[in-house]
Every structure is written in C-alpha cells, then in structure tokens.
C-alpha cells in the first residue's frame, strides 16, 4: 500500500469492468447530489430509494426477523436504516454513520426588506463558510413554509432552467481598495450576505413598492404572506447541477459533497447488504455542521429509540440490552477529510495528508491542537478495518486534516464512541471543502462504497 501510495498506481488497479462500475456509481451519485440539496430533500430521496430496495418504515412493522429491511425517519431531517442480521442485535451491529446537512445560507425569520429600490432577503449562514465565496454565485431557495392552518408549503426556486435565481452581490474592484486591504475573513460580513429577490415596483404603490411586488408574487404563486417567514426554513444553496470535473472526467464537482460524498456511498452500501450475520445499520444525521445538536442531530436520543425498537421487534427484552448492543458495535464515521491541494501545500504535512485518487482515507483521530475533542480509534479496531478493506480490495490511505496546530475539525465519531461503539473516521478526501462547489475523485467515491459495503458485511465483534 505504501509503495502504491507513493507511485499513484491505484487507478491502474481498475480494469475495464471496474472503470464501468466507477463511472456508473459516479453518475448515480451526481443524480443524488442534484435531487438532495438539503437535509429534508435528502431524507425524501433516501426513503424513495430505500423503499424501491424493499425497506419498510419500522413503524409499519410488527416483529422483525433476519433479512428484514427497515428505516426510521427522525423529524423529516435525519434517517436511520437497518438490515436485520442472524445474530441477536445485542451481539452488536456494523454501522456506517454520516450527515446530510451542508453549509449554506438560511433565510432569517424576518428576511424581506426594501432598500433603495431593491428588495432583499436577510440570511444567517449555517456551518463554517468563507463568506466571500457565497457572493456572485447563482443561488436557489429550497425549503418549507409552515402555515398556521397546519399546512406546509414546499419551496424550490432556482433549479429549473426556466426558474429565476438569487444572488449576493460583491463590491466592484474599482471601489474595493478598502475592502481589499481587510483581512479575508472580514472583507464580506455576515450582515452583507443579503440576497437580491426583486427589483420591479408594484404599480400604483408609492412606498416599498418593490417589496410589495415580491409579496404579491409570493402570495399568488405560493399562498404565503410576509409573516409566514416566521415559521419557515428556507435555505439558499448554489443553483445548478453537479458535473464531472476535468477533461478526463476523473472527478465530480458540485454542491454538498460534505457529506453526500460519504452519505450516498453509505446508503448504497446498506442496499448491497444481503442476509448479514451482524445487523447492518446506516445512520444519516442532520446538524453535523453546527455541532450535531438538536433533535435531528447525532446527539439526538431518537437514534437510541430506533435501536430500542429494533431490540423490541426482534424479541430482545433486557434492561441493559441497549448498552450491550452499543458496546459490541462497530461503526465507520463516514465524513469527508481534506485532500492535499497543490495550491496550498503549506497547510499539509505530506506524510500524513490524504491525496485525491488514492482511495478512502482513515482519520484515526480528529480534533485540534493536542487532539482536543478527538475521537481516537483504538489501534486494534483500525487494524481490523484494514484487514476487512484489504480482503475486499479497497484502496485506503491514512491522514490527518492538516499540519499539527494548523486548525482542525470534528465529525459525529465522538458521539457514537461516547455510547460505547468502536468508531473510526473513514471518508472521501475532497478539495474546496465547505465552498459552494467542492470536488472529489470518482475513484475515491467508489472506494467509499466498496469499503462501507465490505465493512457492513464483514466487520466482526471487537473487544
């Protein structure tokens, strides 16, 4: 593996048949990126695909037996899937855990205003973004507006070729001398991330006529009034489709690789599991980008509820069955890591960086400074995952997010580890993480699928 890593031979391991699989998987992934830009859309698309694969809503089942496939939707923004094994669940499950929320601009609850003949929408950014990247990019609005009569209006504007889009403006270079002299992080402020939503006045109106025109269109097309934004969740995300990147089509660029580039392979890997010995679980959480909090984040005890339902429906009754299950379980925390970027070599330590096209990457630990906040996987468990991957022909590398003391980051790994599971961070290296468009190698995306599939089928109990 080390020699291969040095000589970049890995693509050569792909014969014609495997190249076809890699391309076909990348195309399926691009479809998913285009149809699941928000956590709510991801849940809908995942449930649709899961039902087509024979998964049933666990709430519609009585007893469960080995081979059964079920899912549970947690408040429309996270989803857990399971294939029941032949071993009792208390012997532990094999899981892959990922997240389906992405950095973006959320509309504030009182977003709409008019300023000097333009109507704008105020936003509050979600997740760790570099604010300047979100200016002058065509944006689409996705989300829901919950009305007081109990109905919910779906919003999706900006994806169809005939739809309008939205945009945050930036200062022209001619007048940007002072902006250019500022620190990069201060050149564009959070309160300047306002979207242009209208510019035409409503006829016959004297004051705020542009805003009134926007409200008229919103009422006619969507039946929503200004005060309804109070109970809305509307996300501004880059408009348009994901594409192959490079003349060789070796990479995929699009919005939301972090973490669809791991959550989609995780989903497909649980579809590939047939009659496993240990139960297989795929968990797709919300709110990772803001600390995994809330009732749809990984901290939510609704994941425990799902496991308790599996225990009950497979006939296991024991006061400590839940903890016994967790303590015997193995999970891959499937999240992206930083790929080495030739434009910014100074933040990476090359012996411990992940490289594009060299397979899925292990981060034994995450965190920052002195491994603060890290979930540090046990060496024995990492050794076990290596064996599973090597037997399945999965290319992998081992990396850290960057140089020591350069920065850092976290995933859902520590939350799963807190519950007693063996956890290893293991995901796809990407370029331009958290930017409106991120990039990943289709080889690495396929290796994630292959690795997660092998792990769900073959990982054994670890003590």
- Asked if 335 touches Mn ion (CB under 5 A), the answer is yes
Tell the smallest beta-carbon distance from residue 114 to Mn ion (Å): 35
Part of the chain binding Mn ion (CB under 5 A), chosen from 154-162, 203-211, 333-341, 347-355: 333-341
Among 258, 286, 376, 400, binds Mn ion (CB under 5 A): 258
Nearer to Mn ion, 288 or 457 (CB): 288
Closest CA to 70 of 285, 273, 329: 273
Nearer to Mn ion, 366 or 453 (CB): 366
Part of the chain binding Mn ion (CB under 5 A), chosen from 177-185, 223-231, 254-262, 417-425: 254-262
CA 26 to chain centre: 16
Nearer to Mn ion, 328 or 430 (CB): 430
Tell the smallest beta-carbon distance from residue 190 to Mn ion (Å): 18
Nearer to Mn ion, 104 or 358 (CB): 104
Part of the chain binding Mn ion (CB under 5 A), chosen from 8-16, 107-115, 318-326, 330-338: 330-338
Tell the smallest beta-carbon distance from residue 235 to Mn ion (Å): 15
Nearer to Mn ion, 43 or 112 (CB): 43
Tell the smallest beta-carbon distance from residue 258 to Mn ion (Å): 4
Nearer to Mn ion, 335 or 376 (CB): 335
Nearer to Mn ion, 10 or 267 (CB): 267
Part of the chain binding Mn ion (CB under 5 A), chosen from 112-120, 196-204, 295-303, 334-342: 334-342
Residue 150 token pair: 């109990």
Tell the smallest beta-carbon distance from residue 118 to Mn ion (Å): 32
Tell the smallest beta-carbon distance from residue 283 to Mn ion (Å): 14
Tell the smallest beta-carbon distance from residue 71 to Mn ion (Å): 22
Among 68, 101, 114, 259, binds Mn ion (CB under 5 A): 259
Number of residues that bind Mn ion (CB under 5 A): 3
Write out the chain in H/E/C secondary structure.
CHHHHHHCCHHHHCCHHHHHHHHHHHHHHHHHHHHCCCHHHHHHHHHHHHHHCCCEEHHHCCCCCCCCEEEEEECCCEEEEEECCCCCHHHCCEEEEEECCCCEEEEEEEEEEEECCEEEEEEEEECCCCHHHHCCCCEEEEEEEECCCCCEEEEEECCCCCCCCEEECCCCHHHCHHHHHCCHHHCCCHHHCCEEEECCCCCCCCCCHHHHHHHHHHHHHHCCCHHHHHHEEEEEEECCCCEEECCCCCEEEECCHHHHHHHHHHHHHHHHCCCCCCCEEEEEECCHHHCCCCCCCCCCCHHHHHHHHHHHHCCCCCCCHHHHHHHCCEEEECCCEEECCCCCHHHCCHHHCECCCCCEEEECCCEECCCECCCCCCHHHHHHHHHHHHHCCCCEEECCCCCCCCCEECCCHHHHHHCCCEEEEEECEEECCCCCCEEEEHHHHHHHHHHHHHHHHHCCCCC
Tell the smallest beta-carbon distance from residue 84 to Mn ion (Å): 28
Part of the chain binding Mn ion (CB under 5 A), chosen from 242-250, 268-276, 277-285, 328-336: 328-336
Tell the smallest beta-carbon distance from residue 186 to Mn ion (Å): 22
Part of the chain binding Mn ion (CB under 5 A), chosen from 64-72, 174-182, 235-243, 252-260: 252-260
Tell the smallest beta-carbon distance from residue 337 to Mn ion (Å): 9
- Asked if 39 touches Mn ion (CB under 5 A), the answer is no
d(CA 130, CA 326): 37
Nearer to Mn ion, 335 or 400 (CB): 335
User: Which contacts (CB < 8 Å, 24+ apart) does range 182-189 have?
Assistant: 184/130, 184/132, 185/130, 185/131, 187/131, 187/132, 188/131, 188/132, 188/134, 188/135, 189/131
Tell the smallest beta-carbon distance from residue 81 to Mn ion (Å): 19
Part of the chain binding Mn ion (CB under 5 A), chosen from 9-17, 250-258, 310-318, 363-371: 250-258
Part of the chain binding Mn ion (CB under 5 A), chosen from 194-202, 257-265, 290-298, 355-363: 257-265
Nearer to Mn ion, 434 or 442 (CB): 434
Nearer to Mn ion, 198 or 410 (CB): 410
User: Can you give the binding site for Mn ion, defined by CB under 5 A?
Assistant: 258-259, 335
């Amino acid at each position: 593996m080390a020699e291969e890593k040095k000589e970049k031979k890995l693509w050569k391991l792909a014969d014609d048949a495997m190249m076809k699989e890699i391309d076909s998987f990348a195309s399926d992934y691009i479809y998913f990126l285009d149809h699941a830009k928000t956590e709510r859309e991801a849940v809908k698309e995942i449930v649709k695909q899961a039902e087509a694969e024979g998964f049933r809503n666990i709430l519609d089942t009585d007893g469960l037996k080995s081979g059964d496939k079920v899912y549970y939707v947690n408040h429309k923004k996270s989803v857990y899937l399971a294939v029941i094994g032949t071993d009792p669940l208390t012997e532990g499950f094999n899981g892959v855990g990922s997240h389906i929320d992405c950095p973006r601009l959320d509309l504030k609850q009182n977003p709409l205003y008019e300023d000097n003949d333009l109507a704008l929408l105020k936003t509050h950014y979600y997740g760790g973004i570099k604010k300047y990247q979100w200016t002058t990019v065509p944006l689409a609005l996705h989300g829901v507006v919950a009305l007081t009569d109990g109905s919910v209006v779906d919003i999706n504007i900006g994806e169809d070729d005939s739809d309008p889009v939205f945009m945050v403006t930036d200062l022209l270079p001619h007048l940007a001398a002072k902006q250019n002299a500022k620190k990069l992080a201060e050149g564009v402020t959070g309160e300047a991330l306002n979207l242009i939503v209208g510019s035409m006045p409503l006829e016959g109106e004297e004051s705020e006529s542009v805003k009134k025109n926007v409200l008229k269109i919103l009422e006619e097309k969507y039946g929503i009034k200004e005060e309804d934004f109070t109970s809305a969740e509307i996300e501004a995300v880059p408009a348009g489709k994901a594409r192959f990147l490079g003349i060789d089509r070796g990479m995929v660029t699009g919005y939301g690789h972090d973490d669809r580039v791991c959550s989609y392979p995780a989903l497909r890997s649980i579809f590939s599991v047939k009659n496993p010995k240990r139960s297989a679980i795929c968990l797709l959480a919300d709110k990772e980008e803001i600390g995994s909090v809330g009732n749809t984040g990984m901290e939510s005890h609704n994941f425990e509820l799902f496991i308790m339902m599996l225990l009950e429906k497979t006939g296991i009754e024991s006061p400590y069955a839940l903890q016994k299950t967790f303590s015997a379980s193995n999970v891959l925390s499937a999240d992206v890591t930083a790929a080495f970027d030739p434009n910014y070599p100074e933040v990476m330590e090359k012996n411990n960086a992940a490289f594009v096209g060299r397979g899925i990457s292990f981060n034994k630990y995450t965190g920052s400074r002195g491994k603060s906040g890290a979930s540090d996987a046990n060496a024995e468990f990492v050794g076990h995952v290596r064996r599973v991957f090597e037997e399945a022909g999965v290319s992998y590398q081992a990396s850290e997010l960057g140089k020591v003391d350069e920065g850092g980051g976290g995933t859902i790994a520590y939350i799963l580890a807190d519950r007693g599971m063996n956890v290893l961070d293991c995901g796809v290296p990407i370029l331009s993480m958290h930017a409106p468009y991120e990039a990943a190698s289709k080889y690495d995306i396929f290796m994630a699928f292959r690795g997660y599939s092998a792990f769900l089928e073959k990982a054994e109990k670890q003590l």
